[in-house]
A and B are shown apart, each in its own frame.
Chain A
């Protein structure tokens, strides 16, 4: 038996609130796969978008406090489910490769950061370290009959020099995972388009337009649901779906799940551990319909 994959884990602020189900399902899925997540002790907010709109050294320092905590754990890799946290952690590392930038960053910190930690997304370690092959062997309840649109959001893979993972125009990590789970992955042309980010509060019109377009496109390709990897994308598409519908005069009832929730279902993890009840648009109907389609296909197959 090979040694268990172990990583420092950075949940991110939204994991405590608006993306509770992402954190829950990530932990449940990793546990089922034997991936050990060790929480970064006393982690703080990475600063997200607001910090880098003020200053790049400030933004790096807020991320670096956490990288220093990972160093203190004796780990060289930290994983996070959230692409925004990931961007901040990776951008801080990228810029701190420059000595003078690192000095200015460390000057804001109590304890200096050596810049010896690599940040990765949970998505990346599932694909690169755990492996799709191995994952497919763990599937006990295939998602046959379920038509999905895999939506990565804008910053999971961009810019490529910083994120260094997958393809920046046509990422496939989630597509491959979902295919391995048995789902019917539709080609989704807006995979990396922005959802309107955090403008939902101050400029709801922007989110209505950009997220509206995503929902329209997902429906157009015949998807039963959108599968997301970013807390902000998921929130805009799910929680704000009614706002979007009323702004655009549409009537979408499109469930928006995290890919980890679907992994959990396929791995046979009980629903309550995956936070399915926390979604605004319930996925029950489309999950049932997909199961029905799969049954019918099977019956037809065995009858022939």
Chain B
């Protein structure tokens, strides 16, 4: 078992930041493990969600923000729903994911690429253009065979549109992203 040096890695600013951005009182977590028990993703996580909560309490910024778990949380809300102390655990995970992104950490690159492609697609068209999204994802990740088995079948079923669904207000949507980028940059 890993021994944690509780003095060396404590980053009080990190604790305060997660607390402020998530609006949650992190001290309420007493490690009952209910979140981890109900989390369908524990099998894929490097650090289970209850331990992620403990890492924040201990101010272990680097270890928490570099976790793969942050990129594998689907926000299924089991943890939030079942926390006996009403901590919005999924929101805490989301907030740490925002921080990890800002710090440039993304150990699950394919997952981040997929999300980035999704947002780019909606920024461009106002709505998601699924075929374009997948093409963009393949170009970015080099994963040429991604769902190559599904594409033809979906086309045949009329489930993939060949053309994007551009909306009249797509510039409004683009401006939402631009204002957000400007605000984040300042």
Known: A16-B161, A278-B159. A56 touches B94 (CB 8 A): yes
Which among B118, B150, B160 is the interface contact of A48 at CB below 8 angstroms?
Answer: B118
CB of A82 to closest CB in B, whole Å: 12
CB of B38 to closest CB in A, whole Å: 9
CB of B81 to closest CB in A, whole Å: 5
Encode contact with A along B89-133: 1 for CB under 8 Å, 0 otherwise. 010001101100100000010110111101100100011101000
Which residues on B sit within 8 Å (CB–CB) of A200?
147
Of residues B43, B74, B108, B177, which shows the largest number of chain A Cβ atoms within 10 Å of its Cβ?
B74
Q: Would you call A202 and B108 a contact (CB within 8 A)?
A: yes
Known: A43-B167, A201-B147. A107 touches B179 (CB 8 A): yes
Encode contact with A along B165-180: 1 for CB under 8 Å, 0 otherwise. 1011110110111011
Which residues on B sit within 8 Å (CB–CB) of A48?
118, 128
A240 close to B (CB within 8 Å): yes
Which residues on B sit within 8 Å (CB–CB) of A143?
none
Q: Which of A132-140, A152-160, A221-229 makes up part of the contact surface?
A: A152-160
Number of residues from A at the complex interface, CB < 8 A: 57
Q: How large is the interface on B (under 10, 10 to 19, 20 to 34, 35 or more residues)?
A: 35 or more
Q: Would you call B149 and A61 a contact (CB within 8 A)?
A: no
B67 close to A (CB within 8 Å): no
Number of A-B contacts (CB under 8 A): 165
Q: Would you call B179 and A62 a contact (CB within 8 A)?
A: no
Q: How distant is the Cα of A261 from the Cα of B26 in the complex, in angstroms?
A: 44
Q: Would you call B78 and A108 a contact (CB within 8 A)?
A: no
Which residues on A sit within 8 Å (CB–CB) of B137?
201
Encode contact with B along A1-24: 1 for CB under 8 Å, 0 otherwise. 000000000000100111010000
Encode contact with A along B53-83: 1 for CB under 8 Å, 0 otherwise. 0000000000000000000101111101100
Which residues on A sit within 8 Å (CB–CB) of B118?
48, 50
Encode contact with B along A202-236: 1 for CB under 8 Å, 0 otherwise. 11011001100000000000000000000000000
B185 close to A (CB within 8 Å): no
Known: A50-B119, A168-B81, A196-B74. A65 touches B153 (CB 8 A): no
B52 close to A (CB within 8 Å): no
B28 close to A (CB within 8 Å): no
A197 close to B (CB within 8 Å): yes
CB of B129 to closest CB in A, whole Å: 9
Known: A50-B118, A107-B179, A280-B157. A198 touches B75 (CB 8 A): no
Q: Would you call A202 and B110 a contact (CB within 8 A)?
A: yes
Q: How distant is the Cα of A271 from the Cα of B97 in the complex, in angstroms?
A: 44
Q: Would you call A16 and B165 a contact (CB within 8 A)?
A: yes
Q: Would you call B149 and A194 a contact (CB within 8 A)?
A: no
Q: Which residue of B lies closest to A158 (CB)?
A: B77
Q: Residues of B with Cβ closer than 8 Å to A?
A: 40-41, 43-44, 72, 74-78, 80-81, 88, 90, 94-95, 97-98, 101, 108, 110-111, 113-116, 118-119, 122, 126-128, 130, 134, 137, 146-147, 149-150, 153-154, 157-161, 165, 167-170, 172-173, 175-177, 179-180, 183-184
Q: What are 25 of the A-B contact pairs (CB < 8 Å)? A: A13-B128, A16-B127, A17-B130, A43-B167, A44-B122, A45-B127, A50-B116, A51-B119, A58-B177, A62-B173, A62-B176, A65-B169, A107-B183, A155-B76, A158-B77, A160-B81, A194-B74, A197-B74, A198-B114, A199-B111, A201-B114, A202-B111, A209-B43, A277-B157, A278-B158
Using A16-B127, A44-B167, A169-B81 as known contacts, list a sample of 11 further A-B pairs with CB atoms less than 8 Å apart, ordered by residue number in A.
Answer: A20-B157, A42-B168, A42-B169, A44-B169, A45-B127, A49-B75, A53-B115, A55-B180, A62-B176, A65-B173, A278-B157
